[in-house]
A = this chain, B = another copy of it.
Amino acid sequence: MGTMTENTLAETLANQLRRDILRGKLAPGAPVKERDHAAELSVSRTPMREAIRILAKEGLLILRPSRSPIVAAPSLEEITNAIDVLAALEALSGELACDRATEDEIAEIRVQQQRMAELYGKIDRIELFEMDMRIHSLIVAASHNPALQETHQAYLQRLWRARYLSASRKDSRERVLRQHGEIVEALEARDATAIKAAIHAHLEALVSNIREHFSSDPQFGPVPAWAEAPRTDNTI
């Protein structure tokens, strides 16, 4: 991970497809025909096929036998299920981080959290959203458990769209800030119980936020064009 040296064409295609999906350029439910997409980008079917498989494993595409893969259109229930898992992963991360994180790592997390608090209101929601994700990822990284980090990253991807839409609610942003503060404080105190509680609270708020969205717009329309490409250090 880390730098973005895209080695193989398939990875490049996967990243590009992922962006298109997450940004809503490819609407949920839309078919992704490997032939057409490959032709459109002037590549052969082979790497495109591989890219599709990658995204399928990530849960962004649904593969069905002898039929075009389609962009996943997770129901509220599926999103909630995924968040439940995400919460468990982050809670474990927090717990582990409490006794494995270095002082430097904790300091860096605090810095990021403070930067987010300062810039709140001065930057657009997309940047704010990315800072949010970055803080979560940093906490997971502080767990010093690569497997956990990898799985967490996968769930973050899968939930990117839902989280993004939630982040655009103005009223939710203040709450996010406060809850991040609680999490970081617990980490600084290396209080495993407190950090687990804080993380669960944070993500349960996310669930209820998304639930509201669903009641108004059950399908989650495409992301407006002004939303620029996300960048998480990683794949996206």
Contact = CB atoms under 8 A, between A and B. Distances in A.
Interface of A: 7, 46, 50, 53-54, 57, 59, 65, 78, 81-82, 84-85, 88-89, 91-92, 96, 145-148, 151, 158
A85 B50 contact: no
Contact of A84 (B54, B57, B59, B148): B148
Which of A54, A147, A151 has the most chain B CB atoms closer than 10 A to its own CB? A147
Contacts of A88: 88-89, 91-92
Contact of A65 (B7, B46, B65, B81): B7
26 contacts: A7-B65, A46-B46, A50-B50, A50-B53, A53-B53, A54-B57, A57-B57, A59-B147, A78-B146, A78-B147, A81-B145, A81-B147, A84-B92, A84-B96, A84-B145, A84-B148, A85-B89, A85-B92, A85-B145, A85-B147, A85-B148, A85-B151, A88-B88, A88-B89, A88-B91, A151-B151
A81 B148 contact: yes
A7 B81 CA distance: 28
Contacts of A65: 7
Contacts of A59: 147
A151 B78 CA distance: 14
